[in-house]
Amino acid sequence: MKTRLSLYLQLIRWDRPAGWLLLLWPTLSALWIASHGFPGWHLLAVFTLGTFLMRSAGCCVNDVADRDFDRHVKRTAERPVTSGKLGSREALALGAVLALLAFGLVLTTNTTTIAWSFAALAITLIYPFAKRFVAMPQAVLGVAFSFGIPMAFAAVQSRVPLVAGVLLLGNLFWVIAYDTEYAMVDRDDDLRIGMKTSAITLGRFDVAAVMLCYLVYLLIWVLWQAQQDYSAIYLIAIGLALLQALWHGWLIRKRERDGCFKAFRLNHWMGFTVFAGIVLSYRVG
């Protein structure tokens, strides 16, 4: 049982919290914006735990879908499903349990949020297969990783206003930026096995595209929220996030694996910085 539990924890990336934090910060940001401040402990718990559960379920589906590709990539060859330590059915069963637990949390909200959760599940299931057919699968991931935003508005306001779509669009560019950095790590392996990624599609324009996506992301979030009479502290937070983006550009400039992977892993701090700026803006206001 101890060995099995260890394999399950590896499967859901328990030791790599950066992945689910990338989903958490924009979701919590949307909760605060929709609530015009603290959303209450119930919704905070639902979306925090739900984000972790759904990201973990997504890892299960992704590893099963990519098992034949991952064995040819040095970084992923020892994943539990890829290495044969866990069977595909067992991994999918774990993913189903985690998704059902997340759905149980959604059931404590309202009908609008429940309806949006089905769309979120659909895009989660579609993404692992997008890498076979779509030249920029990072855009599909961007939608999947941004779905917490409309769901947060739905949970608070029982509707999804236009602003939720605007923030989702901005967040999508952030996801494209950091997942392109992630794809740059495995570009040589992906070219060899025929996988489609933004790093391959963008070619020599990859670094420039990443920096442009960072800029669009921050610009969309700051332009919309500037209309809401936020305090100067939010602009300071955006400035700090921009400095982080520039640092990431420095890390990936030579397209070396270690630098690209480090930039990817540190992206959750950018999301946290924006979230902290929003929280402090409401506190000050």
Q: What is the mean pLDDT of residues 117-137?
A: 86
Q: Which of 49, 48, 66, 50 is nearest to 11 (CA)?
A: 66
Q: What is the mean pLDDT of residues 208-220?
A: 97
**Residue 181: per-residue pLDDT:** 96
**Residue 190: per-residue pLDDT:** 80
Cβ-count burial of 277 within 10 angstroms (0-12 exposed, 13-18 middle, 19+ buried)? buried
- Write the single-letter amino acid at 70: D
If phi > 0 it is left, if psi is from -120 to 50 it is alpha, else beta; for residue 136 that is beta
**Residue 232: per-residue pLDDT:** 85
Residue-wise pLDDT for 266-278, tens only, equals 999 999 999 999 9
pLDDT at 29 over 90: yes
Q: What is the mean pLDDT of residues 60-84?
A: 80
For residue 151, name the pLDDT band (cuts at 50, 70, 90). Answer: very high
pLDDT at 1 over 70: no
- Residues 210, 248: contact at Cβ < 8 Å? yes
For residue 77, name the pLDDT band (cuts at 50, 70, 90). Answer: confident
Class at the top of the CATH hierarchy for domain 2-284? mainly alpha
More confident residue, 176 or 71: 176
Cβ-count burial of 20 within 10 angstroms (0-12 exposed, 13-18 middle, 19+ buried)? buried
Tokens read off for 50: 């739900």
Tokens read off for 221: 């979030």
**Residue 103: per-residue pLDDT:** 96
Q: How far apart are CA 135 and CA 149, in angstroms?
A: 25
Tokens read off for 27: 């979701």
**Residue 192: per-residue pLDDT:** 83
Q: How far apart are CA 95 and CA 4, in angstroms?
A: 15
Residue-wise pLDDT for 220-249, tens only, equals 998 876 666 667 889 999 999 999 999 999
Q: Which of 92, 182, 190 is nearest to 142 (CA)?
A: 182
Q: How far apart are CA 174 and CA 261, in angstroms?
A: 16
More confident residue, 120 or 244: 244
Tokens read off for 69: 């590709």
Hey, what's the torsion of the CAs at 84, 88, 91, 94, to 10 degrees? -150
Mean pLDDT score of the chain: 91
Q: Which of 274, 244, 269 is nearest to 149 (CA)?
A: 274
